[in-house]
């Protein structure tokens, strides 16, 4: 399974925020720190804000902050949110794409089982567990 860059960047950003949860981070600051597109990070922040994961404020001292304690945010729920609309294989898509081997294919069930196990494992971990503490980020 390969995560989209949207999810990858979102998780990096949230790990950084979890390492300093009381601080507001601007999109520009995070883009510079990680060498990522500011525009792409802005879209991720908007997605996370709509879901209640982060809160945003404009103006001086503004930026994005975590809306909840990192220990209450499960990694599996973040990946589900950020990967929304992306399916493991075309046969999982909601648009009804017809597979010529549907009904005889035993792969789809195995992939669904693997995907379920993947998310179950991620659900065991919180954002606090993977937080980038400020000192680690600056040195590593």
Residue 136 scores a pLDDT above 80: no
Tokens standing for 134?
């400020």
- Residue at 53 is within a domain: yes
Question: Structural domain of residue 16, as residue ranges?
Answer: 5-134
- Residue at 55 is within a domain: yes
- Residue at 65 is within a domain: yes
Q: Counting Cβ atoms within 10 Å, is residue 80 exposed (0-12), middle (13-18) or buried (19+)?
A: middle
DSSP state of 89: S
Place of tokens 């220990």: 71
What pLDDT does 101 receive?
Answer: 74
With contact defined as beta carbons under 8 Å apart, do 54 and 102 qualify?
no
| Number of domains comprising the chain | 1
- Residue at 89 is within a domain: yes
Question: What's the pTM?
Answer: 0.85
Q: Domain holding 31: CATH number?
A: 1.10.10.10
CA distance 40 to 10: 10
CA distance 43 to 63: 14
- Residue at 140 is within a domain: no
Q: What is the pLDDT of residues 13-23, one digit of tens each?
A: 999 999 998 89
CA Rg value for the chain:
17
- Residue at 139 is within a domain: no
Collect all residues with Cβ–Cβ distance below 8 Å to 136 and sequence separation of at least 6.
Answer: 19
The confidence band for 54, taking pLDDT boundaries of 50, 70 and 90, is: very high
What are the angstrom distances between the C-alpha of 44 and each of 78, 95, 109, 114? 11, 24, 31, 26
Which stretch, 68-72, 81-85, 97-101, has highest mean pLDDT?
68-72
Task: Provide φ and ψ at 57, rounded to 5°.
Answer: -135, 140
- Residue at 116 is within a domain: yes
């Amino acid at each position: 399974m390969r995560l989209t860059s949207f999810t990858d960047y979102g998780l990096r950003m949230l790990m950084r925020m979890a390492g300093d949860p009381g601080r507001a981070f601007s999109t520009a600051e995070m883009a510079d720190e990680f060498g990522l597109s500011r525009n792409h990070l802005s879209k991720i922040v908007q997605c996370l804000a709509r879901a209640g994961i982060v809160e945003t404020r404009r103006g001086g001292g503004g930026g994005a902050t975590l809306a909840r304690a990192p220990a209450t945010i499960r990694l599996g729920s973040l990946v589900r949110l950020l990967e929304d609309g992306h399916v493991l294989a075309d046969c999982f898509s909601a648009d009804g794409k017809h597979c010529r081997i549907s009904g005889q294919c035993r792969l789809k069930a195995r992939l669904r089982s693997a995907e379920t196990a993947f998310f179950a494992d991620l659900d065991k971990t919180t954002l606090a567990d993977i937080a980038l503490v400020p000192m680690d980020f600056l040195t590593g």
